[in-house]
Amino acid sequence: MTQKINIIAEIAQGFEGNKKLADLLLNGSINSGADIVKFQLIYAHELCIKEYKYFDFFKTLEMDYPVWEKLVKKAKKNKIKFYFDIFGTQSLKVAKKLNVDGVKITTTDFYNKALIQEALNTFKNVILSVAGTTIEELDKYLSNFTIKDNLILMYGFQSEPTQIKDNNLLRLKALKKNFNKYKIGFMDHTDGNSEYAKLIPYVAMSTGIEYIEKHITLDHKLKLEDHISGLTADVFYKFVIQFRQLETSLGNEKIVISNKEKIYKNLAAKNIIINKDLKKGAQLKVKDLSLIRVTNDIKNSFIKNPDLIINKKINKNLKKNTPLKMKDLY
């Protein structure tokens, strides 16, 4: 089987700067069976100037260090990895101090080379959002960095909710083909109430991704930040179960025939029979043979491939409709 895909329960700004909401969302992520939970580590001054219209809102998302420390400890205790979106030097330093498992650089900071390089130097896993970037642009841009094996390229259409036709999931294959030394991920922003909210990630899993990012929320009626593309915690739990079940269907690119396949092929394949009476010493010709099923025995040792016996001679008299075995040949 292929390597397990990492499922990220994306909280983003959904905690709204409220430690109780943050804890509830963390609980939902833990109980869902997700591999990773991710928050945005917000410091308003890293995102915008004071005069920017959303500055005051971003300030409301800030939480004190002890609150984050408690959340990270709880995650580690419950064996779920903890990631942050970071936006500058302060959030990077806090993430480092908290010893989180990974960070994400969003599209907001795609051109922040210093932040990206420092993150690559510091963390075991660094997700870089590459939405809105061509293959050629990305290839050239990545040459600016010293990269170990810790970079994850994350693609997804940056609009909530994303229309089905805008997902362009085949771009994931293009990323995999052109950047095969890096891990590839998909961030899904399909409407959380849509019938496609789970189907799009299911389709994406077949493109060779190693990460899937899906928003989680508590209740759409609460209209928390980033809830539009989120699955409620109970639905997220079911999503993870179904995702893991479907994941087993991917198998492996290496073609290795299983015992079940061998048994079926042996039982289902037609067998070679003699289509007329033949005497001992007769040389087998194509015209002497027919292919047809003759047994329900799974051991079925009759010959199935005519190429194995054409022009060979039989070592005894054989009557019409006799299935051929290798022991019947010289």
Number of domains within the chain: 2
Distances (CA, A) of 152 to 123, 126, 148, 210, 227: 12, 6, 11, 9, 25
Domain residue limits at 289:
259-328
Examine the fold and report which residue of 250, 273, 295 is the final residue of a domain before the chain moves on.
250
Tens digits of per-residue pLDDT, 124-152?
Answer: 999 999 998 999 999 999 999 999 899 99
On whether both 277 and 148 belong to a single domain, the answer is no
Using DSSP, state whether 203 is helix, strand or coil: helix
pLDDT digit string, tens, across residues 181-231: 999 999 999 988 888 989 999 999 999 999 999 999 998 888 777 788 899
Cα separation, 197 vs 230, in Å, equals 8
- Provide the β-strand partners of residue 86: 105
Same domain as 275, residue 156: no
Contact indicator for 283, 255 with CB cutoff of 8 Å: no
Whether residue 207 sits in one domain with residue 316: no
Name the DSSP letter for residue 307. G
Could you tell me how far CA 317 lies from the centroid of its own chain? 60
Please give the average per-residue pLDDT across 32-53, as a whole number: 97
Of 191, 216, 250, which residue constitutes the final position of a domain? 250
Q: Tell me the average pLDDT of the chain.
A: 92
259 backbone φψ class: left, alpha, beta (φ>0; ψ -120 to 50): alpha
**Which helix (H) or strand (E) segment is 23 a member of?**
helix 19-32
Q: Under a CB-based contact definition with an 8 Å cutoff, are residues 169 and 207 in contact?
A: yes
pTM: 0.84
Report which residue type is found at 249: S
> CA-CA distances (angstroms) from residue 295 to 3, 263, 317?
40, 13, 21
Q: Are residues 184 and 227 in the same domain?
A: yes
Q: What is the pLDDT of residues 154-165, one digit of tens each?
A: 999 877 788 889
Which residue type, as a one-letter code, is found at position 271?
A: N
Residue 1 lies in a domain: no
- Give 63-88 pLDDT, tens digit per residue: 999 999 999 999 999 999 999 999 99
